[in-house]
Structure 1
């Protein structure tokens, strides 16, 4: 398929503005024909008229949506094919219950298979600084069939997700039915658990190696970790984490105060809380203003003296 060309974009925009374009002008932009963006002018064969963008986009998306649907059906068929063998593998040696997955393609294939087999509940932990728009869309594609089947989904994000438009759009699209989203100040690593039988965790910081865990003891332990975080998290629908308490300090600023007292620098605090350094420093400035601090050294002292870290937030 011909790739989209810059010249084609310019000519298509011109055709949309004027209502038509000379046939001779578009010879240098074959992508216009490939993408079916022009059609002959019935009144003059030397001219072409533009196809409305909405119609053109629909024509291009149709085959892609069909391909996605076919791959989803293939994943379900594969899961059904292997289902009879799953019970046979429940008593394998402990070394076989931990699989090392290397490369994004293999990791995603394993995740797709596990979620295709998921029947009851999917648990996920998604640290804010590790979830890009691309991975969100991939998660949406993977989770949607689960939700359509009635599988319950619970996902944990960091509080900073509330300021991320991609995440909010993702939540809005999947907020109906058996789906719950909560946020918490700190999350260490990504975690995915399907039906209390299989869990996935990263094994390297670049996310190119993951571990698929099927050992019952390990999976139970990770579920307990998830539930511990879930009980302390706040539903995405509330604004509590960023609302000021009676002392004028927000929950996220309490988290920053704790890390400041522990001696962490701005970059480390931002990384721990899933925000950029500029946002972190803005919160530190607000914290300093609320406590009446005139310097960084004085801020640490005032945090320790104020007693805010001993309060229950």
Structure 2
């Protein structure tokens, strides 16, 4: 059922005629008949039946001299009738905006005199607010963006969002450096995303272990998640915190392997791969399989397969013996 959008009634067999469009969307018949009425000075009721909206919107009114005819309301009059309430509403909104400005003016003055930033750390709750803040920061980024992306299956729509956010950056010459975990080398979605950026200003490296996501724009603002479901994040604009996070990033970057150089899982002279060295270190620290898999960005089955190969290489027959043999082998003294 359509709702009434105009003013007058048009009786048709005793029923009120209702129309599905507003006066700002005057139908083709309505425009044609109204134009004819303006040119001729009037239009018959029979002809106007094709566009009952003209009566609904008070663009036609009965001819006082002949009930079979309708006369057009001058467009200047019709326009003024519709503009008047809008102008009243605009005036009211202006009055409210002035009152709001008066209310906040003393607080704005206090804020301007403050020497300590009041928004150095902002809590962002919900994906929409987090993404809006990221979009604003990347839109304002002019020099370099640093990102840390721990591995895990990245959903296609997430990569599409990242592409829509990052592509404009590279188009205006911003440098991007991204750290993934080694397991990202086996993710078709991640590799397809990386393939979209062939510019030398975009660099990708991988490392065995990352802690959490991190995004830094222009050494000015950083974003970190605060919950595992990533529904809450912190926007950091404290200069000291941002500088510290940049140093953390550079520390990991210098130990990472360029994505373009091939797999980092080459077997070392001792028969143990880099990833197995990382697993050995975490095993000795007492981590269980699930925790090791999570920290290295792989599934538990893959992690256990590496543990089995490590046990074979060291000649271990049990989990307890494996820890002892790792400690005795000296492999943890080597730099992975």
Alignment length (residue pairs): 226
1:125 matched to 2:111: no
Alpha-carbon distance change, 176 to 189 in structure 1, aligned in 2, over 3 angstroms: same
1:14-163 aligned at under 5 Å gives the runs 93-129=116-152, 131-163=154-186
Alpha-carbon distance change, 90 to 302 in structure 1, aligned in 2, over 3 angstroms: farther
Structure with higher helix content: 1
CA distance in 2, matches of 1:215, 1:130: 32
Alpha-carbon distance change, 250 to 268 in structure 1, aligned in 2, over 3 angstroms: same
CA distance in 1, matches of 2:112, 2:194: 36
1:190 matched to 2:226: no
Structure 1: runs of 5+ lacking an equivalent: 1-87
Which of 284, 287, 291 is the equivalent residue of 2:314?
Answer: 291
1:239 matched to 2:262: yes
1:258 matched to 2:258: no
Which of 237, 243, 268 is the equivalent residue of 2:291?
Answer: 268
Which residue is equivalent to 1:67? Answer: none
Task: Give CA deviations for 1:261-297 in whole Å, capped at 9, x if unaligned.
Answer: 1111101100111110001011111111111222212
Which residue is equivalent to 2:196? Answer: 173
Alpha-carbon distance change, 131 to 92 in structure 1, aligned in 2, over 3 angstroms: farther
Alpha-carbon deviation of 1:239? 2.7
Contact 1:147 1:177 in 2 (8 A): no
Rg larger in structure: 2
Task: Give CA deviations for 1:37-57 in whole Å, capped at 9, x if unaligned.
Answer: xxxxxxxxxxxxxxxxxxxxx
Q: Secondary structure at the match of 2:204?
A: strand
Alpha-carbon distance change, 248 to 133 in structure 1, aligned in 2, over 3 angstroms: farther
Q: Secondary structure at the match of 1:101?
A: strand
Q: Secondary structure at the match of 1:174?
A: coil
Alpha-carbon deviation of 1:205? 1.4
Q: TM-score, normalised by structure 1?
A: 0.69
CA distance in 2, matches of 1:89, 1:130: 46
Contact 2:152 2:184 in 1 (8 A): no
C-alpha RMSD over aligned residues: 1.8
